[in-house]
Amino acid sequence: MKKEDEFTIKIMSQIAQMFNEDSDCENQISTEDLEKHLTEFTHAMANLAPAMYYNQMTGANVDSLEFNHIANRLCFQFNQNN
């Protein structure tokens, strides 16, 4: 298994805990809240959180659009190598 696949599985497992009412996750999101705010959740997960993580890890100060360019380069890089 490729390392990025391993990381993806771990990340998805943590996200699943957010929606599991039986988990002890302190950041739970109800099904109703997700259904009502799916666009906002998707934007937060796909754009805002990765940019925030990148900024914290690198000390950079990019916004979500700037990070999107970085993410696109990563997609291109990984697609060329696979």
The pLDDT tens digits of the residues spanning 7-59 come to 999 999 999 999 999 999 999 999 999 999 999 999 999 999 999 999 999 99
Burial 4-18 (b: 16+ CB within 10 A, else e): eeeeeeeeeeeeeeb
pTM flag (> 0.85): no
Quick check: is 5 in a domain? no
Quick check: is 8 in a domain? no
Quick check: is 9 in a domain? no
Quick check: is 4 in a domain? no
Where does the pLDDT of residue 81 fall: very low under 50, low under 70, confident under 90, or very high at 90 and above? confident
pLDDT at 6 over 80: yes
Quick check: is 1 in a domain? no
Quick check: is 67 in a domain? yes
Quick check: is 57 in a domain? yes
Q: Which domain holds residue 63?
A: 15-81
Question: What is residue 10's predicted lDDT score, i.e. its pLDDT?
Answer: 97
Quick check: is 31 in a domain? yes
Please give the tally of structural domains in the chain: 1
